[in-house]
Amino acid sequence: MKLIIDKTPVTAKPGESLLDIAKGLGLFSGKLSSDPLVAKIAGDVFTLNYVPVREKDVLPDKESTRRAMAASGGVIRLLKYNDPRAKDAYRRTAQFVLFLAIQRLWPGAHAKMNCTVGSGLYIKVIGADSFSAEELRREVQKIVDEDIPLERKRISTDEAIKYFTEHGEDDKAALLAYRSSPTIDVYTHGDFADYYYGEMAPSTSFLKVWDILPKDDGFMFIFPDPLNPDKVAHYRDLPGFFRVYTEGKDWGELMECETVADLNGLVDSGKIRELIRVNEALHEKSFSQVADMICERGAKAVMLAGPSSSGKTTSANRLATQLKVHGKRPILMSLDDYYMDRDKIPTGPDGKVDLEHINTIDTELFGKHLAALLSGEEVEIPSFSFKLGKRQWIGKKMKLHASSVIIIEGLHAMNPVLLPKGLDEKLIFKMYVSPLLPLNLDDHNRIPTSYLRLLRRIVRDFETRNSSVQSTLDMWDSVRRGEEKWIFPFQENADVIFNSSTLYELAVLKKHIFPLLLAVKPEEECYDEVRAVVKILNFVHEADADDEIPPTSLVREFIGGNTFYKKV
């Protein structure tokens, strides 16, 4: 069969894998930065162990073409580590190797995925006598050197549930009990089996760049440097982020909602309504505590930052409500109004405008206005027209009174370049908002924070901007790159990190987003990303409990019905 691999025409032999073909083309250099990890065929991602033409496809009395090959017309794109889909495959490969190593060294131990901290993944290890990160490192390297093929094996779901139950992985067995499909694909080696909800590298030897560091009750697995994948990333501890995430984990345990299986149980029993009430009460208490901190300091301005779809606007409004309880006169202000005119923003090396870049904000003008306001002067504030792509002056004037507190909300609000030199920093309170979802699929598969934000954004963009799933996903990689560069590095500057996630949210969001996702066709470019989202949501039971969610809830910012947005 004629194929085109990375624009190179080749003839695939029956039974030959993409890995064999890529090796034959000399596409492997031994460097993570340049070696392919997975392949993109039509709208889906495939392992390099995929065979484009099987022996049975070319029998004399029968000739057929595999679905993916027919859909792509034989065009295949090999993905390297710089592609988000390849990074996901690398992460899954690391998970397989790590959990296999732990099983070999400490058979009775139980490892739990916890959270990502910068370029590190924290995994907690329970019940391992004399656990040693150094011993684990040696075993991982041994498994990498063994070059174990990572191939899927299809078994019945009942068989998988029995296996995981017998091996003490009740969390995974409980999750699979909610699986509607009668079969499941697992990765195995010897008596070890696991499932990671997506493709992996062809074998363990592809795990080339990594490190393991001791951390609390487990270890931190360090991934490659995102800018130079051929070296291990520098790990920077983020104590504020880690503390808030750990508090979320502890609260999930207290509410008996640590995994999707737990959440489904609450939906099925009707107790999801109680979870909503308690979760919303927790948020209200947290906003009240932040308001207390602001007033105790005597701050006159709150810089409120967070990544896309973290709930910044609703957080600013709810904080304003709590400040009013203290007798303050909060004034809401958006950094968006300080955007540069679109035609004045410099382009990047690729000739495109990076809308996530700090240079999209007129930082000099904002700094002057903030200093003037804090000095008691009256200032005319600009308004940015997204329709025109230009800043406008419409006579919007602002002046602070003795009891005033400005709440300045925006993606870049934590960036120190915004604050004018010589400013009394006691007057500024910094708040970082992010949905640090502590809910796992099971103990070996966490739900990334970015996943929840993506769901929120897809629903919101469709409901409020009539944007398709494809258009939202087209921007997502760029948004994520901008966050990595311009938002996440400053999160530890915050006086408080606010966890804007809710444990019940996936069950509520499902009915809003699932019809949009299922409408995406396999041949569409974004199908692989949609499929990854659907794989997780397939396990989640839908909750019909929107009426329980208060009109000021952070969740309302995305599903609609938020009273802060109503025109008075």
The predicted structure's pLDDT at residue 62 = 64
Determine contact, residues 125/217, Cβ cutoff 8 Å: yes
The predicted structure's pLDDT at residue 566 = 63
* Cα dist from 498 to 249, 282, 398, 494, whole Å: 14, 11, 28, 10
Tens-digit pLDDT profile for residues 296-340: 999 999 999 999 999 999 999 999 999 999 999 999 999 999 999
The predicted structure's pLDDT at residue 63 = 62
Determine contact, residues 330/320, Cβ cutoff 8 Å: yes
> How much is the average pLDDT of 505-528?
89
Tens-digit pLDDT profile for residues 391-404: 999 999 999 999 99
- Identity at 184, one-letter amino acid code: I
Q: How far apart are CA 137 and CA 34, in angstroms?
A: 25
Q: Tell me the two tokens of residue 105.
A: 């060294």
Determine contact, residues 354/478, Cβ cutoff 8 Å: yes
Whether the pLDDT of residue 32 is over 80: the answer is yes
Query: In what order do the strands lie in the sheet containing 110-117?
Result: 110-117, 120-126, 218-222, 211-215
Determine contact, residues 337/469, Cβ cutoff 8 Å: no
Determine contact, residues 429/495, Cβ cutoff 8 Å: yes
Tens-digit pLDDT profile for residues 207-247: 999 999 999 999 999 999 988 999 999 999 899 999 999 99
Tens-digit pLDDT profile for residues 41-99: 988 899 999 999 888 877 766 667 888 888 899 999 999 999 999 999 999 999 999 99
Phi then psi for 356, rounded to 5 degrees?
A: -90, -10
Given pLDDT bands bounded at 50, 70 and 90, which one contains residue 195? very high
Angle 224-448-145 (CA atoms, 0-180°, nearest 5)?
Answer: 35
Q: How far apart are CA 518 and CA 467, in angstroms?
A: 16
Burial state string for 357-377 with b = 16 or more CB within 10 A and e = fewer than 16: ebebbbbeebbebbbbbbeee
What are the chain's domains?
A: 2-80 (no CATH), 86-240 (3.30.980.10), 241-565 (3.40.50.300)
Alpha helices in 298-448 (DSSP H): 312-325, 363-374
Which run of H or of E encompasses 105? helix 84-105
Neighbours of 473 (CB within 10 A): 21
What percent of the chain lies above the pLDDT cut of 70? Answer: 98
Average pLDDT, the chain: 92
Whether the pLDDT of residue 568 is over 50: the answer is no
Q: Name the least confident of 335-349, 359-373, 443-457, 495-509.
A: 335-349
498 by Cβ neighbours in 10 Å (0-12 / 13-18 / 19+) ranks as buried
Whether the pLDDT of residue 546 is over 80: the answer is yes
Tens-digit pLDDT profile for residues 427-444: 999 999 999 999 999 999
